[in-house]
Amino acid sequence: MSVRELFDTMGYGPAPEGDAPVRQWIAQHGGRFGHYIGGQWIAATELFEVTEPATGAPLARVAQGTAADIDAAVVAARAALPAWQALDDHARARWLYAIARGIQKHARAFAVLESLDNGKPIRETRDIDIPLVVRHFYHHAGWAQLLEREFPGHHAYGVVGQVIPWNFPLLMLAWKVAPALAAGNTVVLKPAEFTPLTAIRFAELVHEIGLPPGVFNLVTGDGRTGAALVAHEDVDKIAFTGSTEVGRAIRVATAGSGKGLSLELGGKSPFMVFEDADLDSVVEGVVDAIWFNQGQVCCAGARLLIQEGVADRLLDKLRDRMEQLRVGAPLDKGVDMGAIVAPVQLERIRQLCATGVAEGATCWQPSWCVPAHGSFHPPTLFTNVAPSATIAQVEIFGPVLVSMTFRTPEEAVALANNTPFGLAASVWSENINLALDVAPKLKCGVVWINSTNLFDAAAGFGGYRESGFGREGGREGMWEYLQPVRAHEAAPLPVIGEGAMPDAGSDAERDDPSAPAMPPIDRTAKLFIGGKQARPDSGYSRTVRSLRGVAVGEVGEGNRKDLRNAVEAAQAAAGWSTLTGHQRAQILYYIAENLSARADEFAMRIVSMTGDARAAGEIEVAAAISRLFSYAAWADKHDGAVHDVPLRGVALAMHEPIGVVGVACPDPYPLLGLVSLLGPLLATGNRVVAVPSERFPLAATDFYSVLETSDLPGGVVNLVTGSRDALIRTLADHDGVEAVWYFGSHTGATAVETASAANLKRTWTEWSGREWLDPRTGEGREFLRRAVQVKNIWIPYGE
């Protein structure tokens, strides 16, 4: 063919990347790989086969990890922990820097190995995956250097178990290992069974550079290996990226264990196109959103939402562009899409496409055929899709795009949020006012404006709802591997254990002259729902007794219907979340002012329940007033950040309220405990359904009369008295509650964490107690971080 003919046809021939060095590396090991534990390579008794997605041919045989292998790795990580944590910040920074340099020096080999093992195009591994891996280790070398100064009062969890998926094998390793090591943890990593080879090569690299033995350990295997890691009693934190179903199982398995947990799960991200968008740019954005990595991306823009006026034009352009996409051998530098990771995943994609057709959607694919051998699937577009259709709700995890239309921005937001997931979204509009108005309304952790699939180590990534909790990258990601250093001091109240409640029928001490004198009780305190006092649905009340067994009052016995009403009232009070921080601060100050005016009354109420000296009651009330002032001060100061990302633009990290939060309050310090938990949630714009102290609830039922006179909108705070563990378990089950804070017994905490797996709501549980009077442990940034979720909004700018 002549040069002229080439220019006329613009045909592309194959441009294969050389894979000989990588295949030689596999051959040097005899095609067999073991575990890396305690700085040594450990042969396995059982092996499984890893195949090449593009051909189906065997690539290597890899060790199947057992519970004994996991135990050996955890023991090695535990043994290495003291010396690793004893290093100064600069020393750990040097190790992460050395890892970054090592990957950089072997970048092409890692890129080719990733393409062989995973099936993704070499252009993606070479130009996106591996550079981001290097970036993460460099970035976290910086955090390691600054750890003591930037995260004072915090320390590493200890031994961290990490389980990563097959769609970005080496990048997911970097996302997890880099911050864990920077924070001073040691690691046991379990890669995906389909794609373990780059993790094995990484283990070789850290061995070559001399990373201390046991700091990083690698155990390969299938789901059984991951389950053994999750269940191991000596692992302090689990970090998991993968499917929502497995994430739920991990949440249940870790419930009540005290382990830290972060989950980055599935998604069904909307790609929203408004009628003023640049449609040619949109088309290229769609290609990157859903056909990047064959659509095997948790944040893939799988739902195309188009404003009606431009829908037909955009879909025509999109079909023309799909005809030009090239699917083929991943090592061909001219292809746009490679192979699906495994036949089982390819079959799942095909089945879901068949379901879409059966449910009435229209399927369109390009006229050309994909390679006959290997696991390939063509780019696919569905139109005429109902919002409730299976393919519009289920994560397909393949190169399949479903499209729907909308008329107004409000309808667009409703469609976008019509999913149990909440990982990412793309918003396309030339009207930046419109785009920035829509972005905060989307229930997801990342929003890209006029762009898609942008990632960087400086910007946190993670989701809402069934897309999991926790963040990876940036300062947000570092917090996931740190916990507060806390020295508990003895609380002045007696320790109140389970079963310590006096007999409800015992009034033996009522006439005891040593018991404190009490005024007559002429009313039963009610519940507080929707800004109003409400009688309990049950029609029952419970007697409140002092520690001496003396009856000091009665409160309503709340039940499931009361909680349902309270949650509905909290949902209806969504306007609280849209107030400015200054407005919320003014109301918190007003609550403190009204509480101060009744300080003596509240102090006496606390004394009557606890039997403490009056001075102790006065101290608790004073601390509650101070705490309200603290969170009023924080209300307009707990700011987000502008991340410095490699983009001609900015990434805004916005602190958003979680929504409706269920709270179970501790028994010690019945007023201060309640205020300490309400304060940060209210300051950050959340609405609360709280279960006050079960033993001493009268401080809370008196407190609602303060709320009634302090301009707090109805429904922002709701108080339901009764059995703490029974009521909070109902809130943990409730789909309308986005998070639960529980401070009580170990049994109750376990039940809350187990129940939360149903919709993967965020939980904060404690059962060991804390000194609420001490501002170092009873208030501050730890509470504020728990009260928000971070949304990163990427905004490119310039011509």
Describe the strand order of the beta sheet including 446-449 as a list of residue ranges: 362-364, 380-383, 400-406, 303-307, 270-273, 424-428, 446-449, 788-796, 649-657, 641-643
85-124 residues labelled b (16+ CB within 10 A) or e (exposed): eebebeebbebbbbbbebbeebbbbbbbbbbbbbbbbbbb
Catalytic residue among 17, 193, 264, 620: 264
* Tokens of residue 205, six digits: 């690299």
* Tokens of residue 80, six digits: 């290495």
* Tokens of residue 295, six digits: 């659509």
**Cα–Cα dist 408/326, whole Å:** 35
In DSSP notation, 346-408 reads HHHHHHHHHHHHHTTPEEE--SS---SSSS----EEEES--TTSHHHHS---SSEEEEEEESS
SS3 176: helix
Token look-up 């057992």 returns 66
Neighbours of 511 (CB within 10 A): 8
Query: CB–CB of 301/289 below 8 Å?
Result: yes
Describe the strand order of the beta sheet including 186-190 as a list of residue ranges: 40-42, 35-37, 216-218, 186-190, 159-163, 237-241, 260-264, 468-469
- Three-state secondary structure readout of 746-770: HHHHHHHHHHHHHCCCEEEEECCCC
* Tokens of residue 392, six digits: 């519009």
Q: Is 298 an annotated catalytic residue?
A: yes
Q: Is 264 an annotated catalytic residue?
A: yes
**Cα–Cα dist 429/443, whole Å:** 19
**Cα–Cα dist 584/337, whole Å:** 50
522-538 residues labelled b (16+ CB within 10 A) or e (exposed): eebbbbbbbbeebebbe
Catalytic residue among 52, 193, 298, 472: 298
SS3 18: coil
Active-site residue set? 264, 298
